[in-house]
Amino acid sequence: MAFDINNVKWLTGSHGLPEAYYKLKVPSVSAILEQIPDPEFEAWIASMGKERVDEIMKQAGFRGTAMHAFIESFVNRYFKTKDVSEALTAAQSDTPSILEKEGVPLNKISEGRELFYKFYYSDFPVEYKELIGTEVPIHSKKLFYRGKADIIFKHRMFGPKVTDFKTSNGYIKKGSVKEYKYKCQLGGYSLALDEMFQEKNVIINAASILCINTKSDVLQEIECSGSELQEYKQNFKTLAIDWHKKNGSESFIQI
């Protein structure tokens, strides 16, 4: 990786003397997953045009941001009060104004709210009674990547479990590239959390993507546990190493 003088920051160090710090490029989990070829997505871009696809993805991002905000507000309040009604009221009243300040369009706030209601009326909210955290920053010092986990909680069977929420316009097909990417994402999150919790002897044994479908009230959970999760932890590790090799930063990683 070529040295960039613009990444050097001078700060006051010990004894009041200036010290130079160099900012390294650390990829996100999403950036690492972009290496996975996706012929279906590429064909979509070819048929629709990149500008149109970018706009569609931008609007879908607003919708996802809104849904996440409603769910996060609800889960955090429910964990504190154990009162479903109070948590629902708080999510409904507090979230829209926050999203408006973030520049989320009103129609996307409405769409996000409707997706949240599908979550609320499902069987999933009761799983999060033993919440560990929401919007949890994660990182790996060994493989130099970072990300943010939507929710970590204690599952009644698996113990610590990480879940990420997604919006979708249809059912995620088994064996598809999208499903593979999602499972690699779960592997990346779990791998980083294992490293972060190593001193506490905590291992993530289960992880899932919870897809909330715009066209159905049935939520789809793509789950990895046991040996399958171990496989996807290794798959993501390989992807992370490949990313650093392509970007000339493999000397930083500790395999």
Ordered DSSP codes for 146-188: EEEEEEEEEETTTEEEEEEEEEESSPPPTT-HHHHHHHHHHHH
Measure the CA–CA gap between 110 and 192, rounded to whole angstroms.
Answer: 34
- pLDDT value of position 2: 66
Q: Are 41 and 90 in contact (CB under 8 A)?
A: no
pLDDT band at 220 (very low <50, low <70, confident <90, very high): very high
pLDDT in tens, 26-72: 999 999 999 999 999 999 999 999 999 999 999 999 999 999 999 99
Residue 219 structure tokens = 């939520």
Q: Retrieve residue 139's tokens.
A: 């990182």
The Cα–Cα gap between 222 and 186 comes to 10
What's the chain's average pLDDT? 93
What is the share, in percent, of the chain residues with pLDDT greater than 70?
99
What number is the average pLDDT over the span 85-103? Answer: 96
Q: How far apart are CA 227 and CA 187, in angstroms?
A: 11
Q: What is the pLDDT of residue 1?
A: 60
Flag whether pLDDT at 75 surpasses 80: yes
DSSP single-letter state for residue 202: -
Whether 6 shows a pLDDT value over 90: the answer reads no
Confidence of residue 250 (pLDDT cuts 50, 70, 90): confident
Confirm whether pTM is higher than 0.85: yes
pLDDT band at 146 (very low <50, low <70, confident <90, very high): very high
Of the candidates 176, 178, 157, the one whose C-alpha atom is nearest the C-alpha of residue 225 is 157
Q: What pLDDT score was predicted for residue 28?
A: 97
pLDDT above 70 for 110: yes
